[in-house]
Amino acid sequence: MTGDCPAALLLQRWVERLVIGEGLCPFAARPMAAGRVRITCSDAINADDAYRDVLAEVEQLWISDAALVETTLLAVPGALAEFADYLDVLDACEEALDELGLASELQIASFHPHYLFADEAEGDASHYTNRSPCPVFHLIRQESITRALANWPDPEEIPSRNRRRMRELGVDYLRSLNAGLADPDRTPTRHPR
């Protein structure tokens, strides 16, 4: 695994421009600015290798000082291109967290280029709240989530606000952003609601 692969650089730009820039995760800016977000790449070329790399990152995050590494984004650019395969590995990783007794300590947030919410039309821009440039496993300390949510008014509104924002930005812009083609300094055209 490496932190300086092209996918990690694209992922960092995606986090800065979309996740933080558009406020999808109102809690991401502070740890990113403080350098407490680890962005790394898996060299996996199949699901088994991806699974092992996620668990290795779980261990790395667990033994790391939270003041130095609050959260980890693991990019898997060479495997799990099919969303169903990604979901299978995600399920297996969540089961492993449970078996290790870490399910109440760590969470895995899921991001994939073909992410689909079951209750949204396939072409809806709202899927881009969880669409990333490549398959990503976001490992989060539960303590960080609890602390952030305690100081945020109406956290249950975040998902619906994010879906609205993705629709305003539009699929074409979001697709180009995920491909690394969108100008990060450009203010996207707001689409009528």
In whole angstroms, give the CA distance from residue 91 to residue 68: 28
Report the distance separating Cα 95 and Cα 173, nearest Å: 36
Helix axes 158-169, 171-178, angle to 10 degrees: 100
Residue 135 in any domain: the answer is yes
Q: pLDDT tens, 8-28? A: 999 999 999 999 999 999 899
**Residues of the domain holding 14:** 6-178
Q: Is residue 183 part of a domain?
A: no
Give a yes or no: residue 118 inside a domain.
Answer: yes
Is the pLDDT confidence value at 4 over 90? no
pLDDT tens per residue, range 114-159: 999 998 999 999 999 999 999 999 999 999 999 988 888 888 999 9
pLDDT, average across residues 61-83 = 97
Average pLDDT estimate for 34-39: 96
pLDDT in the model for residue 148: 87
Residue 186, pLDDT > 60, answer: no
Examine the pLDDT at 183 and tell me if it is beyond 70.
no
Taking the CA atoms of residue 25, residue 118, residue 108 and residue 126 in that order, the dihedral angle to the nearest 10 degrees is: -20
Query: What mean pLDDT comes out for the span 167-175?
Result: 94
Classify residue 169: in a domain, yes or no. Answer: yes
pLDDT at 190: 35
Residue 184 within any structural domain of the chain? no
Does residue 189 sit within a domain? no
* Residue at 185 is within a domain: no
Q: How many domains does the chain have?
A: 1
Q: How far apart are the first and last CA of the chain?
A: 42
Give whole-number Cα distances, 111 to 19, 90, 92, 135, 189, in Å. Answer: 12, 10, 16, 6, 24
Residue 34 lies in a domain: yes
- The chain-wide mean pLDDT, for the chain, equals 91
Beta bridge partners of 141: 106
